Structure 1
Amino acid sequence: MNFLAHAWLARGGSDDFLWGNLIADGVKGSDLADWPEEVARGIRHHRRVDAFVDAHPVVSELQRSAPGAQRRYVGIALDLVWDHFVARELGLAACPSPLVRRTYRVLAARRAPARLAVMVPVLVEQDWLCGYADFDFTCRAIAGIGRRLSGPNRLAELVPWLEREHESLGQAFRRLWPEVCGALEVPVQGDVTRP
């Protein structure tokens, strides 16, 4: 799962909890004592979501079906693909939804950890969360991440497979998402943060 899916799953919590979910990939280590309690809780929630998704049989099936040289990178690509389906399936393609506006507000209000500090302002300015509703945009984002990795761009090499498998990826999402929500979604308190 990527920013949009994590925002959806955390939408029932406070802004600190949401921010922790959004920045967790930029936070290293398990010692979260230096973070405010709700931010640390959000970081831990994000990590539980990622562990649940990574261990899910749907993800294992997709990894086995991917081209051999790129299998190691399928998880990275799927994180963004899941955001594509979150945007489409949850009606967030008609942006900006209240959830997207809140997410951008929370991200813009604080400086992201160093590992995300350059990317987060660009994500907000270029409206990536709404962009994920477009599969071509999502594929370009996946290839862009691959350019930042060392060696050949295995993520860009995965794009033709992702395009061919779009329908089966959607079916996989529809199997995975209800289980993720059932196991890990934070209950919404009031309707202020509903998309």
Structure 2
Amino acid sequence: MNFLAHAWLSQAGNDDFLYGNLIADGVKGADLSAWPDDIARGIKHHRHVDAHVDAHSQVRTARQRAPSGQRRYAGIALDLLWDHFLARQEVGSRRHQELTARCYQLLESRSAPMRLARMVPLMVDQDWLTAYADFDFTCRAIAGLGQRLSGPNHLARLTTWLDDDYFGLEKDFNIMWPDLVSCLGTISAFDQP
């Protein structure tokens, strides 16, 4: 899951909890004592969701369909693609507009962790949470992320597979997403103080 999906899955929480979910990929390590309690719970929630998604049978099946030389990177590409499918379903809805406005307000009013500091202003200015609805934008985001990794850009190479297997991956998302939403209560149990 990427920013949009994590926002959707945590929007019922308070602003600190939502913020923790949004910045979690920029926070390293298990020691979250430097963070306020609700932000730390948001970071933990994000990590539990990621673990659940990575272990989901539909996601494992999708990764196995990736080209063998890029399977190691397929999970990263799929995280962004899941945001694409979610955005495509929700863009234009009042819920999406309210959620993205809330996310951007939080991200603009607080300092992002160093690992996200350069990216967050771009996300807000370019409205990534809506732009993910465009497949080409999502592929450019995947390729751009791949530029930040060392070595050849394996993520950019995966965009051809994402295009070729688009309808199969959409089917995977449409099975995985409701499963994730329905089990969220179980995942959220880990987030309680």
Common fold by TM > 0.5: yes
Gaps of 5+ in 2: 187-193
**Partner of residue 149, structure 2:** 149
How far is 1:51 from its partner?
0.2
> What are the within-5 Å matches in structure 2 for residues 168-187 of structure 1?
168-184=168-184
**C-alpha separation in 1, matches of 2:92 and 2:62:** 25
**C-alpha separation in 2, matches of 1:77 and 1:184:** 23
Amino acid at match of 2:45: H
Instruction: Check whether the contact 1:87–1:93 (CA below 8 A) recurs between aligned residues.
Output: no
Instruction: Check whether the contact 1:58–1:175 (CA below 8 A) recurs between aligned residues.
Output: yes
**Partner of residue 54, structure 1:** 54
Gaps of 5+ in 1: 187-195
How far is 1:4 from its partner?
0.3
Runs of 4+ residues over 6 Å off in structure 1: none
How far is 1:148 from its partner?
0.9
Q: Quick check: 1:131 aligned with 2:131?
A: yes
Instruction: Check whether the contact 1:10–1:185 (CA below 8 A) recurs between aligned residues.
Output: no
**C-alpha separation in 1, matches of 2:83 and 2:92:** 11
**C-alpha separation in 1, matches of 2:147 and 2:34:** 32
**Partner of residue 83, structure 2:** 83
Which one has the bigger helix percentage?
Answer: 2
Amino acid at match of 1:45: H
Distance 1:135 1:94, change over 3 A: farther
Q: Deviations over 1:122-158 (max 9, x none)?
A: 1101111110001111011001101111111000100
Amino acid at match of 2:91: L
How far is 1:34 from its partner?
1.0
Q: Quick check: 1:97 aligned with 2:92?
A: no
How far is 1:92 from its partner?
2.2
How many aligned residue pairs are there? 185
Amino acid at match of 1:148: R
**C-alpha separation in 1, matches of 2:13 and 2:138:** 27
